[in-house]
């Protein structure tokens, strides 16, 4: 049995952030997503704050069983 798991996440209003801040958002996303996945969630909201700017986003997971 083979499964393909795709995690998709998106942060909104990040155009003015530096590359380093965007890397921080990647870490924030995964820190939020992994525990929620373990609890059985397949999607959810993301929240973070950088330089007093509140950022929001969304994530989802898609699991596909591949025959073979």
| Residue 34: predicted pLDDT | 96
The SS3 assignment for 38 reads helix
| Residue 16: predicted pLDDT | 87
| CA 60/CA 33 separation, integer angstroms | 9
Question: Going residue by residue through the chain (68 aa), what tens digit of pLDDT does each one get?
Answer: 899 999 999 999 888 889 999 999 999 999 999 999 999 999 999 999 998 889 999 999 999 999 87
User: Which pTM value belongs to this model?
Assistant: 0.84
Tell me the domain boundaries of the chain: 2-66
| Residue 15: predicted pLDDT | 86
Task: Give the rounded distance of the alpha carbon of 61 from its chain centre.
Answer: 9
Q: Beta partners for 22? A: none
The SS3 assignment for 16 reads coil
């Amino acid at each position: 049995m083979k499964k393909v798991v795709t995690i998709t996440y998106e942060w909104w209003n990040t155009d003015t952030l530096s590359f380093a801040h965007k890397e921080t958002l990647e870490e924030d996303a995964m820190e939020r997503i992994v525990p929620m996945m373990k609890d059985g969630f397949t999607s959810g909201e993301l929240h973070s704050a950088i330089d007093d700017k509140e950022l929001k986003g969304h994530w989802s997971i898609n699991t596909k069983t591949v025959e073979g």
